[in-house]
Amino acid sequence: MRATTIHGPYDIRVEDVPDPRVEQPDDAVVHVLRACVCGSDLWAYRGQSARVPGQRIGHEFVGTVVATGSRVRSVRPGDLVLAPFTWSDGACVFCTERLPTSCTNGGMWGAVGSDGGQGEGVRVPFADGTLVKVPAGAASDERLLRGLLALTDVMGTGHHAAVSAGARPGATVAVVGDGAVGLCAVLAARLLGAEHVIALGRHPDRLRLAREFGAADTITERGEAAVTAVREATGGHGVHAAIEAVGSAEAMRTAVGVTRPGGAIGWVGAPHGSGEGLDVGALFMNNLTLRGGIAPVRSYIPELLPRVLDGTLDPSPVFDSAITLESIADGYRAMDERSALKVLVTPT
């Protein structure tokens, strides 16, 4: 089959790789209908996260089951499924505690030895613990298919950020970062009942989408000016809940700076320097909570999926560009240059 590989910084290729097949009794093989490029793929693309030359890449996909191992019970060939960005056995102590990202048998698509999401097919370990069956009719509904694809990562990650930050009825929420995760966090904060959501970013078109998603205010200032602007918008005290959806020192510094004493920072940006933005003195004196991490999106699917299916939650607009698998390198370039927010990839 054809699949995306990364050979070094800015070197994304589409190559022939072995067809996926059932290797273990718990495996399923999924034919990918839609995949996409993630902001976190850019850390590897830019050389900020190490990769073995030729390693697969991509961790978001929706597709059709084409084969299953002898122990698989929850899905069968022909089913439309989505996969969270990590696989998990669904049975270990951490899966039981709704933390499948810490599954003792878990892993992430694109890890060495596994298939990535940006290809024609994927061998899925622990299919029962990993895959979620969705109504077959969604396959012919492009908007819905995109909404389901968002549940594999960005929507679940944005939700984890909002939950971790303590977004709730009556709360003020600041979302630092206008990437797809930040925008989904706006949706999630509103879904959780947050009263006043403030989106911080640099791109007018993305902030326009943040408003469509329910942000009451948008702020384009950065650094200290951003902190001042958020404080002014919240009676001087800051927000109850801040969301750090970037993973950089500056974003974390802003999140800490805008949070009200006793408030919480929900962080989901893969840390690339964000530790430097953690002013522990400020955390201490203001009793700020830092909560979050790699999002256990599998655990959120049962509550978010019905909302996507009934249309009350629609993250599909985060996909503002669509390409074929063969031109995926263009998609990476567009996201790296920020001319695309999130690129949808259709393998065939």
Residues of this chain that interact with its own copies (CB under 8 A) are 93-94, 97, 99, 101-102, 237, 261-262, 267, 270-271, 274-275, 278, 280-281, 283-294, 296
CB of 171 to its own copies, least distance (A): 12
CA atoms of 174 and 205, how far apart (whole Å): 18
SS3 69: coil
The residue type of 145 is L
Say if residues 72 and 114 touch (Cβ distance below 8 Å). no
> How many C-beta atoms lie closer than 10 Å to residue 11's C-beta?
14
Closest CB to its own copies among 84 and 147?
84
Say if residues 304 and 313 touch (Cβ distance below 8 Å). yes
CA atoms of 99 and 152, how far apart (whole Å): 15
CB of 306 to its own copies, least distance (A): 24
CB of 113 to its own copies, least distance (A): 19
CB of 55 to its own copies, least distance (A): 19
φ, ψ for residue 64, nearest 5 deg: -115, 130
Using the Cα atoms of residue 135, residue 141, residue 146 and residue 147 in order, give the sign of their dihedral.
Answer: negative
Closest CB to its own copies among 82 and 99?
99
CB of 101 to its own copies, least distance (A): 7
CA atoms of 185 and 242, how far apart (whole Å): 10
CB of 284 to its own copies, least distance (A): 4
Closest CB to its own copies among 274 and 316?
274
Query: What is the DSSP secondary structure assignment for residue 18, as one 8-state letter?
Result: P
Closest CB to its own copies among 162 and 290?
290
CB of 262 to its own copies, least distance (A): 4
Q: Residue 343's beta-bridge partner residues?
A: 321
Closest CB to its own copies among 106 and 125?
106
Between the two ends of the chain, the Cα-to-Cα distance in Å is: 11
List Cβ neighbours of 106 (8 Å cut-off, separation of 6 or more). 86, 87, 88, 89, 100
Pairing of strands 343-346, 196-200: unpaired
Closest CB to its own copies among 283 and 329?
283
CB of 294 to its own copies, least distance (A): 6
Closest CB to its own copies among 222 and 291?
291
CA atoms of 36 and 309, how far apart (whole Å): 20
55-56, strands of its sheet edge to edge: 11-16, 2-8, 55-56
Closest CB to its own copies among 214 and 273?
273
